[in-house]
């Protein structure tokens, strides 16, 4: 039998309350949702059964694939933009400044509420919005640029704007995990800044960057509010469908099935992404020990 020290027993007792909370309100609902995806719904009542109809219905509808593809597109574009735009800022914060003032300044913007940011972009991008009217007043265009709003452009722009601070947070913590000694050693050996970045820093924060990418991807792909308010008719995503099932349409098992199919799609993207990085020789492999 494993000897559990008194220390560890105390630790287990201390984490027990929140473990229980997570069990009841996170794990059990997830399992319940999974089970429900095999049930049937009739006139707003749930009927426990075992049927694959919900999955079949989703997988056999072309609309489902189209909407899921929209969701994945949103997620991928947002994740790429967020990581690409935030990385230089994160690098600057970790290697070029002292103290946390700039970092906190950016983080504080995260607390300007989610909805407010969507509303702000809607006001700015509309055909009567700030950008269009200003451009027309300046005489640069004669008609409003319609595609600014209710388009994938609007959705991705807004989602990126929302995710930037969070992406920066993850990237800064990834960069801070890179051991300074390696960076100093490389500098001592005469490496230029670019070489230090590509051959020391990037491989060592690889996991953190992939983590930031995946986090941003999952949250933006699953987001249904932004596409609904800014995405226009062609910007619908599976998330909107699922949300509707649970709020108005009432076919919960169908919604649950679609939700789990989305999770599978996310998993596929994750595996494909890591494999792609591997193929492009961007993954560090076992080049260093940590």
Give the one residue of 64, 206, 246, 270 binding other proteins; rule: CB under 8 A. 246
Distance, C-alpha 259 to centroid of its chain = 16
Q: How far is the CB of 65 from other proteins (least distance, A)?
A: 19
Can residue 170 be called a binding residue for other proteins (CB under 8 A)? no
Give the one residue of 52, 84, 263, 272 binding other proteins; rule: CB under 8 A. 263
Both tokens of 288, joined, read 């260093």
Can residue 26 be called a binding residue for other proteins (CB under 8 A)? yes
Touching other proteins, residues 100-129 (CB under 8 A) = 102, 104-106, 108-109, 111-124, 126, 128-129
| Whole-Å CA distances, 63 to 147, 160, 168, 178 | 23, 26, 35, 45
Complex with other proteins: residue 48 or 63, whichever CB lies closer: 48
Q: At what angle do helices 206-222 and 62-96 cross, to 10 degrees?
A: 140
Can residue 45 be called a binding residue for other proteins (CB under 8 A)? no
Complex with other proteins: residue 152 or 239, whichever CB lies closer: 239
Give the one residue of 56, 69, 88, 179 binding other proteins; rule: CB under 8 A. 88
Can residue 69 be called a binding residue for other proteins (CB under 8 A)? no
Kindly state the greatest CA–CA separation across the chain: 81
Can residue 236 be called a binding residue for other proteins (CB under 8 A)? no
Q: How far is the CB of 209 from other proteins (least distance, A)?
A: 16
Can residue 81 be called a binding residue for other proteins (CB under 8 A)? no
Q: How far is the CB of 23 from other proteins (least distance, A)?
A: 9
Output b/e per residue, 240-261; b: 16+ Cβ within 10 A: bbbbebeeeebbbbbbbbbbbb
Can residue 36 be called a binding residue for other proteins (CB under 8 A)? yes
- Binding segment for other proteins among 60-68, 182-190, 243-251, 269-277 (CB under 8 A)? 243-251
Complex with other proteins: residue 176 or 275, whichever CB lies closer: 176
Can residue 13 be called a binding residue for other proteins (CB under 8 A)? yes
Complex with other proteins: residue 115 or 272, whichever CB lies closer: 115
């Amino acid at each position: 039998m494993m000897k559990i020290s008194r220390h560890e027993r105390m630790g287990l007792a201390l984490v027990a309350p929140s473990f229980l909370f997570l069990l009841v309100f996170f794990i059990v609902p997830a399992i319940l949702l999974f089970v429900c995806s095999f049930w049937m719904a009739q006139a707003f009542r749930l009927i426990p059964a075992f049927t694959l109809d919900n999955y079949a219905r989703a997988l056999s509808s072309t609309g489902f694939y189209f909407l899921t593809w929209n969701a994945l597109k949103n997620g991928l574009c947002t994740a790429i933009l967020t990581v690409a735009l935030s990385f230089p800022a994160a690098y600057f914060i970790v290697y070029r400044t002292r103290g946390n003032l700039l970092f906190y300044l950016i983080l504080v913007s995260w607390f300007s509420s989610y909805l407010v940011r969507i509303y702000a972009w809607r006001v700015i991008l509309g055909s009567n919005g700030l950008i269009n009217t200003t451009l027309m007043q300046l005489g640069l265009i004669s008609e409003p640029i319609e595609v600014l709003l209710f388009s994938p452009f609007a959705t991705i722009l807004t989602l990126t704007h929302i995710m930037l601070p969070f992406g920066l947070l993850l990237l800064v913590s990834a960069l801070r995990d890179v051991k300074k000694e390696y960076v100093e050693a490389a500098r001592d050996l005469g490496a230029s800044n670019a070489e230090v970045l590509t051959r020391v820093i990037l491989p060592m924060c690889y996991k953190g960057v992939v983590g930031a990418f995946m986090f941003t991807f999952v949250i933006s792909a699953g987001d249904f509010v932004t596409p609904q308010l800014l995405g226009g008719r062609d910007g619908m995503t599976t998330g909107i469908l699922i949300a509707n099932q649970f709020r108005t349409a009432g076919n919960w098992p169908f919604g649950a099935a679609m939700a789990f199919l989305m999770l599978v799609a996310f998993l596929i993207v994750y595996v494909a992404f890591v494999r792609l990085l591997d193929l492009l020789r961007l993954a560090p492999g076992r080049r260093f020990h940590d």
